[in-house]
Every structure is written in structure tokens, then in C-alpha cells.
Structure 1
Amino acid sequence: MKALLLFLLLLALPAQAELKPRWELGMGVAAATLPDYRGSDEANEMLLPFPYAAYRFDWLKADRNGVRATLFDSDKVELNLSAGATPPVKSKNNQARQGMSDLKPMIEFGPSLDFKLWQSDNQDTRLDLRLPARAAFELREGMHYSGWLFSPRLNLDFLNVGLPEGWRVGLVTGPTFQDKHLNAYFYSVDEQYARADRPAYSASGGYTGWQFLGAVSRKFGKTWVGAYARWDTLKGAAFEDSPLVRRKTYFTAGIGVTWTLAQSSEMVEVGDD
């Protein structure tokens, strides 16, 4: 689910200024192969239909790029909203977690301070530094705070580079860090759940691995299509020795399509979506 959110919120890449409708409504579908959790050796194929809505204020935009607010007058720095999610896991269906408590669905949200480091003269290539910090909440009879994470990212975007006109390519890489509470939720093993092949384990906070993501997207009229591939390594992670970590490197991929079904007649200039 987190990979799908990265795909849906970050895949539409910055472009040159253009006119777009003030608002859009539509629908979409995304499909991906995802591990039960980072470090799991079991994966599931997910098909996720979703509504699509975009609204573009002069100072606030909500669309496929996520939610972005212009809170200060600078073309080099943006304060955006970062979001993520983790799907539920039934422990009876996961060999490493059998007999343990189920993992509940989790959502993450928080600010992201983004810096434009470099842009080509024709604006076809752009390098950004993104600094998202998010709080995580377990969805269990309400929202329960589960910890925080920080995932600095270098984001390199290309428009019309070595591809037919209209295609956009993005490369994203960076480490992730999580506090002890969040790592413990996924990787600690309490004494009551310990067994011969799953000793008790207490996870600590800190570095939690490195990710590389590549994505392509294009819009055909009112239809948007995209695909992504991500490589994730947990080598050196604070919880690397947890008995729940069965795989330290893995690869995921997904595709998505959205259709705009209605839009406003009013057009506004948009320079970064």
C-alpha cells in the first residue's frame, strides 16, 4: 500500500507551466505486487480502485502530486503534505508471524519540506531534495499513534528525454529512519510469542534501509497512465536481526490508470504538476 501511495502521490512529475482545469473529478485503478511488510518473504498482488479528485487554489493544490501549499514566497522551497499507508496483515496467513497479533492497517501523514536544487534551462530536467517527516497511526477502533518516520529523498525528473513527446520519467532514492515505537510494532517479538525458530526480540529505532524508485507516466487526453518499479534493501537496518525479517532485499512494481470524468471550464496556470 505504501508503494501504491508513492506511485499515486509522486509519480506525476513536475513539468513546465501550463493551463489546467480549476477542478477535476474522475476514477482510477492501480495494481501492484507488494510484500506483507518490509522484510517479509511473502507478497500479495493488489488491485486498488480509487476516486480521483483535483482542486487548484492559488496557494493550495490537491492532485496526483499530492497536496501542496505555498506558505512563503520562494520558487526554490515548497512545503507539501506527505502521506503513506500500510495494509493489514493476518498473522495466520504469514509464516513468520503465525501465532502473533495481526498487523492493523496504518496511515502516515506529515509535512515535507522540498528544495529545488537544480533545473535545466529548458526546464525539462529537475533535481529536488525532499524531506518528508510523517506520524504513523494504527487504525484500531479509532486512530492510535504508532511512531514517526523520516525519509529524505533525492528526486530527479525528466520530461521528454529520450522518449516520445509527453512521457515523464522520475528517479527517487534515499534512506528511511523510524523511531523505536514504530519499529517495535513490526519487528519486535514479545516473550509470549517466542518459539524455537522465532526468539524474543526487541527492535530499536534508527536507520531502516534504503529505497530506489523509478517511474514513468503520460497523459493521453483525459486518461493518465503510469508505472513504477522499486528496489528496497534492509541491510544495516536497526531491526535487521529480527526473526521477522525473512528477506533483506526485494523488488516491487505496479501500474495505474486514471480517467477524468468531469472538469471545470475555468483554467488556471500550474507550473509544477
Structure 2
Amino acid sequence: MTPSPTLALRRLALALLAGGVASAAMAAEEKPLWEAGMGVATVSFPAYRGSDQRQAFVLPTPYFVYRGQFLKADKDGVRAELLDADRVKVTLSGALSPPAYSRDIHVREGMPDLRANFEVGPQLNLTLWQSDNQRQELKLLLPLRAAFTLERSPKSIGWVFHPKANVDFGGIPGLSGWNAGMQLGPLFGDSKQHQYFYGVDAANATLNRPAYQAKGGFAGMQYVLGVSKRYDKTWVGAFLRYDSLRGAAFADSPLVRTRNYVAGGIAVSWILGESAERVLVDD
């Protein structure tokens, strides 16, 4: 249920726990059909939402932008646009989360590992407000995704719904060329999703880890702040994310060790090539 921090950084760039918030809409202009490059990112995040153990990585971050009419990979992630109107878009989008190994997480010792997992499903994007120059905008994003483990025989691990407000600022006053953005909203999951991350079967129960059956429903709040800047052939970006699990349906699970935490990361990417073909875009 936690998008990979790498994806969060890529959504800032192309835009994979911990969350596409740092780019601004621009007036229509011609840009390459595709751009590709390579970068590096450093991220810090919990093993899973509610874990009191953190992981920090330095990771390679491929940079890829594709501005096709149907398939797109940009500041809003990799997606297929099913409907594109002035104020309403319907896309097919996804998310990816890394594995968490129980041997490295004290509270999960002896339990099955949390597999890498992916989410896929439709997302409704509603533009609620946009400035005259299209450099600032407010959107409501409504993704509904089915989640599956990433393995040879993928297993369903429920559904996730994450409605959120998205605010883009096309330029930070006093900081030429820097863009900023914010996202905030609640998360919801069904009982199968919550049981996968927070349930404890009788076979894995101990004196300090009693059996627990997770319920579906509210899964806490998430707030993300991102900044980025595109130079000629270089992109830099950073994000900071705050999660609160207060009031979550699974907040009393013995696997929830903290109800508040911060994740973040920074990345640099170098654009190494682009297509000769140009397309008219407004991103």
C-alpha cells in the first residue's frame, strides 16, 4: 500500500514509497516525443507504513519521458489516457512498492516476507482551477487500484483508493526556474489489503505479537511536498512526505509501531538523448 520512494522521485522527474507533485502546467509548446537519461537518488523511508524501522538507499533512477497521444510517461507517472477533456481525464495508472524482509524487521520476525507488489487501475483527474497562464492549478485525483504481489504467480492483495488534492505551482517566487507542488488526501483499503500488511495469523502469534484480524476502511492521511528544476540537460528534484495513521482501521495492530512518520528523498537525472520528432504539449 506504500508506493516506492523511487517511484515518488520518478513521478517528480517523469515522473515509485513513499508518492507527481513538483511540475507545473505550462503553455502549449513543441517538445521531443521522448527523452531518456539516467540519474541517482537517495531515499529514506519506513519498511512499511507504520513501521518504526527505516531503510535508506542510494539508487539508480532511469529518466524517461514519452509524450504520445495515448500512452504517456511524464510528471504524472506512466499511464494510458482513456479520456481527455478540458477539465476531466481518465487514465490507467499504476504504482510499485519494494519488498520488506521480515528478518530485518523486529516486530515481523518469523512472519512471511512482504513481497514487492504493484497496483493498477483507473484514475479520474478533475481540474478544479487553473490560472490564466496555466502555471498554477488545483486538481482532484481519484485513483482506484487493484494490488498484486510481484512474483512468478502474482496473488491479489486487495484494493486501494487514494483520493487527493494536487496543487502545482509553476515557479517559486525568488527562485527562478524552480517548481513546487503539494498533494494531500486520505487512503482507504479493503480488509484483504490491510490484512496482508497488518494482520497476524494465529500461527505467527506470540506473547508480544497477538493474533490480529485487520478490517477494511480508512488507512490514514498522506501529505507530500515536492520541488524540482529542469536545467538544459539536467533535472533535480526532492520530496518530503508525512504520513499519519491516527484513526486508521488497523491502527491497533501489533505491527503498527508508529502512527506518524516522515519520508523523503532527493534525485538528480541527466537527459542523454531525445527524439528528433516534436509534438505539441502543454505539460
| TM-score class, shorter | over 0.9
Structure-2 residue corresponding to 1:14: 24
Contact 1:6-1:84 within 8 A present in 2 as well: no
Distance 1:73 1:22 in 2: 18
Structure 2 counterparts to residues 142-161 of structure 1, below 5 A:
142-161=153-172
Give CA deviations for 1:103-139 in whole Å, capped at 9, x if unaligned: 1111112221100000112222100000011111112
Distance 2:22 2:242 in 1: 19
Structure-1 residue corresponding to 2:246: 235
Distance 1:68 1:177 in 2: 22
Tell me: CA distance 1:35–1:205, structure 2 relative to 1, closer, same or farther (3 Å): same
Structure 2 counterparts to residues 34-45 of structure 1, below 5 A:
34-45=45-56
Identity of aligned residues (%): 47
Give CA deviations for 1:204-237 in whole Å, capped at 9, x if unaligned: 1110000010000010111111000010000000
Contact 2:238-2:267 within 8 A present in 1 as well: yes
Structure-1 residue corresponding to 2:178: 167
Q: Which has the larger displacement, 8-17 or 172-181? A: 8-17
Tell me: CA distance 1:73–1:247, structure 2 relative to 1, closer, same or farther (3 Å): closer
Q: 1:222 aligns with which of 222, 226, 233?
A: 233
Contact 1:35-1:41 within 8 A present in 2 as well: yes
Deviation at residue 146 of structure 1 after TM alignment: 1.2
Tell me: CA distance 1:233–1:73, structure 2 relative to 1, closer, same or farther (3 Å): closer
Aligned-residue CA RMSD (Å): 1.6
Local SS of the residue matching 1:19: strand
Local SS of the residue matching 2:155: strand
Count of aligned pairs: 272
Contact 2:44-2:57 within 8 A present in 1 as well: yes
1:190 counterpart = 2:201:
yes
Structure-2 residue corresponding to 1:2: 4
Tell me: CA distance 1:244–1:73, structure 2 relative to 1, closer, same or farther (3 Å): closer
Tell me: CA distance 1:194–1:249, structure 2 relative to 1, closer, same or farther (3 Å): same
For normalisation by structure 1, the TM-score amounts to 0.94
Q: 1:124 aligns with which of 135, 140, 163?
A: 135
Q: Which has the larger displacement, 190-199 or 17-26? A: 17-26
Contact 2:24-2:136 within 8 A present in 1 as well: no
Local SS of the residue matching 1:143: coil
Distance 1:99 1:71 in 2: 44
Deviation at residue 69 of structure 1 after TM alignment: 4.1
Deviation at residue 4 of structure 1 after TM alignment: 2.9
Local SS of the residue matching 1:102: coil
User: Which runs of structure 1 show a deviation greater than 4 angstroms over 4 or more consecutive aligned residues?
Assistant: none
Give CA deviations for 1:10-50 in whole Å, capped at 9, x if unaligned: 14523212221111121122221010000000001022213
Distance 2:150 2:80 in 1: 27
Q: Which has the larger displacement, 213-222 or 103-112? A: 103-112
Distance 2:83 2:244 in 1: 36
Local SS of the residue matching 1:244: coil
Counterpart residue type for residue 24 of structure 2: P
Contact 2:21-2:224 within 8 A present in 1 as well: no
For normalisation by structure 2, the TM-score amounts to 0.91
Counterpart residue type for residue 98 of structure 1: E
- Unaligned 5+ segments in structure 2 are 12-19
Distance 2:111 2:40 in 1: 33
Contact 1:194-1:200 within 8 A present in 2 as well: yes
Counterpart residue type for residue 153 of structure 2: G
Structure-2 residue corresponding to 1:254: 265
